[in-house]
Structure 1
């Protein structure tokens, strides 16, 4: 068992290893010495182009998206005091997916490359706004509102697939919904990054309030916590960061659920102390999952969202069984 003192070092090592594996792994094998040498050779050269235009954007996006999902999952679990909470629970991820699918449905993605992520971000913000307006009554009301909004967004996705103008559009929408970091470039990273960073700031501002909420809503209010502000910051931060990440990567599940639970045994259960480790471990999980999609020997690359669901579902069942044993 790794002690709490060694946990930061282990996290840093895993993150560095994940980044190096992501930069060094691909369909085209390049010797690490060749990749390192390309940094000092005249540019452009083939190894440098592969590294800078294909693998670096993919790696940066994996870190940003993974950290976003882990951070948002930890914040929502603290806000809702629900160990099963994650970004999809409040409709943010389905909203981003619907916005992106609308761009594909109407052919906007073909005429404007950034239409898919931009509409994805807009969809996430719209879904979060609906959840916030409908869930003003309290934690339970917000969860129920999130479930309703998620159902509405899922219905919109089904309609888009049902009325796809042609088989190619339906195929493109389906492939996008499976989630992937393949073929992402710097323009998509630069589009998503400002929204992700803004979302991180909003979520970080909730840290003190989340600690107070562990005592209950009434007690938190007696300590001067503005619950409306806390809910707004948490939902806005989730919408901005997760919406931007989902709009670029597609739907990637379970990272936001897994990361907080994996770090709590080492950092404790105080919500403010869980936020940063969850973000770091979310990035680590997504980096290693993305590397796995590239090295699994299949004719076609396994989609990232499929792999995270295959790995995350058994953990989810284990978590439910554990909660059932702990319940009175």
Structure 2
């Protein structure tokens, strides 16, 4: 779908790590108060509670770490879902996982669960993500076509979006509605280590569930019967990807809102360098997703009139044209 530029996965991983390091430095430098590289290093390593230390450690560092974890989760789960569903257009957003996770979080805000427990938001978001993923898993078990899966994802997303609109319509408090709308647009602004410690364990748990699924996804690309013949427990593989996606994406949505297109676009970018073998693209997709998210978060700090760009809006502006290009190239290759 994209012109192939041959390279090894490890060479690509090293390049992506370098890009992440540069992006992290830029993210730590730029904001309402611009800092030099020396100021950033001072803020990270120096002791005390001077202004540089507070800005870097308490404001920018947790935001950067969350951006890396969120981007890695979306990139990895996008690549895993595309391999599991054998569908190059699958990702947590396109198939409805992100929308249902958002619905769960909006319900938690509406019902006031967030005032009862800080765990309410990530738990409800993960439950919403799990519902959508199970629906898609059932369809995949019946060898559904790409068109059917995409249409099902559109239906799930539309239903979740309608439900969110209904919840906001019945919300009597305008401040709560504004909180829901801004949260749905996606942002990492004002995130702290409390948010990281809350969502981080769930994100990491999702990663741990999906460790080692690459070999099974490779076998599954030959068909379920062939995978079973090779000794792969297809049902167990599905559940590992399903639960891993629900945990990591649900927790990601709970801290940064709905951010689309990362899981869809990133695996296609990676395939241009390392090919189409599912196992080869998992780790590079996670690294590429992390780099994309950190760079996109930097763009949200650009002064635009009297407002501010939101993370979900930036990713949609970047991802939507790439998504349309992928569809166009897919249609060409099927002729």
User: Which residue is equivalent to 2:67?
Assistant: 62
User: Which residue is equivalent to 1:47?
Assistant: 52
Answer with 302-311 or 194-203: which moved more: 194-203
**Superimposed CA distance per residue, residues 4-63 of structure 1 (whole angstroms, 9 cap, x where no aligned partner):** 154333212111111111111111122322232344544111111111111011000000
Structure 2 matches for 1:107-122, cutoff 5 A? 107-110=112-115, 112-122=117-127
User: Which residue is equivalent to 1:73?
Assistant: 78
1:33 aligns with 2:38: yes
State how far apart, in whole Å, the 1-side matches of 2:160 and 2:223 are: 31
State how far apart, in whole Å, the 1-side matches of 2:301 and 2:150 are: 36
CA 206–195 in structure 1, closer or farther in 2 if over 3 Å, else same: same
User: Which residue is equivalent to 1:284?
Assistant: 291
Match for residue 103 of structure 1 among 103, 108, 111: 108
| Structure 2 stretches lacking a partner, 5+ long | none
CA 264–47 in structure 1, closer or farther in 2 if over 3 Å, else same: same
Count residues with an aligned counterpart.
328
Answer with 274-283 or 8-17: which moved more: 8-17
TM-score, length of structure 1 as denominator length = 0.91
CA 320–90 in structure 1, closer or farther in 2 if over 3 Å, else same: closer
Structure 2 matches for 1:2-21, cutoff 5 A? 4-5=7-8, 6-21=11-26
Q: Secondary structure at the match of 1:219?
A: helix
**Superimposed CA distance per residue, residues 109-142 of structure 1 (whole angstroms, 9 cap, x where no aligned partner):** 3565553333323332344345546765345587
CA 150–242 in structure 1, closer or farther in 2 if over 3 Å, else same: same
Q: Secondary structure at the match of 1:87?
A: coil
Answer with 137-146 or 310-319: which moved more: 137-146
State how far apart, in whole Å, the 2-side matches of 1:48 and 1:2 are: 42
Q: Secondary structure at the match of 2:175?
A: helix
CA 280–39 in structure 1, closer or farther in 2 if over 3 Å, else same: closer
Answer with 188-197 or 201-210: which moved more: 201-210
Report deviation, 1:202: 2.1
| Structure 1 stretches lacking a partner, 5+ long | none
State how far apart, in whole Å, the 2-side matches of 1:287 and 1:179 are: 13
Match for residue 203 of structure 1 among 210, 218, 221: 210
User: Which residue is equivalent to 1:324?
Assistant: 331
Match for residue 247 of structure 1 among 254, 270, 274: 254
State how far apart, in whole Å, the 2-side matches of 1:98 and 1:34 are: 41
CA 72–104 in structure 1, closer or farther in 2 if over 3 Å, else same: same
Structure of higher RCO (CA pairs closer than 8 Å, 6+ residues apart): 2
RMSD: 2.3
1:294 aligns with 2:297: no
TM-score, length of structure 2 as denominator length = 0.90
User: Which residue is equivalent to 2:245?
Assistant: 238
State how far apart, in whole Å, the 1-side matches of 2:170 and 2:69 are: 33
